[in-house]
Structure 1
C-alpha cells in the first residue's frame, strides 16, 4: 500500500467514524459499525487505530483542525483590522460553535468534558498558538502595550474562550452575539492595553 493510499484509508475511516457518531451517537457506535461504514475489514481498521478511544481522539483532532480553519475564516471576514474586532469575532465564533454542535446526536456532554479535561494542556496551548499571531501583530502596530507577553496573554484569552464553550454565563446570554461581543470588548482586550491612569 502506498503512503498516499494509506493516508486516504485513514481519512476514510475517520470520515466513517464521524458518520457513525452522528447517526448512532458516540457511546453506541462500535468498531464494527465504523469498519462497515468505511467499507474496510476490522483488521484494516486495527492497522490504523488501536481501539475506539484512538479513533475518537483522531476525530477530535480532525474536528479541532477544521474548527480553527473555520474560526480563522470568520476572523478574517468579520473581525476587521483591529485586535479587538478579531478577538470579539473569535469569542462569538466559539459561543456559536457550542450552540451548533450541542444538539448533535454524537455530542456527549460527559465525553466532551472528559476530553477537554484529559487533553486540557494540549488544547490550551493549541488555542493560544492560534491566537498568538493576531496579538503579536497588534503589539507591532501599537494597539497593545509593547511589553505585553504574547504567550501568557494568549493563554489567558484562550482560557476565556474555553470557559465560553464549556460554561454558560449567569450574567449574560452567551447565545446573544452582541452580549458576547460586549463582554469581550469591555473586559478582555482591556487587559492588553496600557493602563492610561499611569500615563503622565
Structure 2
C-alpha cells in the first residue's frame, strides 16, 4: 500500500466518521457504520484505528487543525497589523465558532464537556502554540514589552479564548461581534505592555 493510498483511506474513514456523528450522534455510531459510509471493511478501519475512541480522537485533531487554519485566515484578513487587532479578531472568531457549533448534533453537551476537560491541557497548549508567533512578533517590534514571557502570555490569552467559547456571558451579547471586540480590546495587550505592579 502506498503512502498516499494510506492517507486517502485514513482521511476517508475520518470523513465518514464525521458524517456518522452528524447523523447518528457519537454514542450510537459504530465502527461498522463508519466502515460502511467510508466504503471499506471493518477490518480496514481497524488497520488505521485501534477502536472508536481513537477514531474520535483523530476527528478531534482534524477539526482542530481546520479550526486553526480558519482562525489564521480570519486573523490575517481582518486583524490588521497590530497584536491587539489580531487577538481581538481571534476572540471574535472563537465566539462565532461557538454559534456554529452549538446547533450541531455531533455530541451532546456532556460529551463536549468531557472531551474539553479530558484533553484540556493538550487543547490549551495547541492554542497557546498557535498564538505564540503573533506575540513573539509583537515583542520584536516593540508593541509589547521586551521582557514579556511569551509562553505565559499566550497561555493566559488561550484561557480567555476557551472561556469565550465555553462560558455564556451575563453582560455581553456573545452574538454581537462588536460587543465581543470591545470587551476584549479593553483588556488584551495592556497587560503585555505594562509590567506587573509591585506591591
Q: What is the TM-score of this pair, normalised by structure 2?
A: 0.95
SS of residue paired to 1:187: coil
1:104-119 matches, cutoff 5 A:
104-119=104-119
1:91-131 alpha-carbon deviations (Å, 9 max, x no partner):
00001101101101214211111111111111111100100
Residue pairs, 1:1-200, within 5 angstroms = 1-194=1-194
Q: CA deviation at 1:136?
A: 0.6
* Preserved contact between residue 101 and residue 107 of structure 1 (Cα < 8 Å): no
Note the residue ranges of structure 2 that are not aligned, 5 or more in a row.
none
Which 4+ runs in 1 deviate beyond 4 A? none
Which deviations, in whole Å up to 9, do the C-alpha atoms of 1:121-159 show, x marking residues without a partner? 111111001000000111111111111110100000000
Aligned residues: 198
> Per-residue deviation at 1:88?
0.3
Contact persistence 1:168–1:174 (CA under 8 A): yes
Rounded to whole Å, the distance in 1 between the matches of 2:108 and 2:70 is 22
Supply the distance in 2 between the matched residues of 1:47 and 1:16 (Cα, whole angstroms). 16
1:155-185 deviation line (CA, Å, top 9, x unaligned): 0000000011111111211111111101111
TM-score under structure 1 normalisation? Answer: 0.95
- Cα-Cα RMSD: 1.6
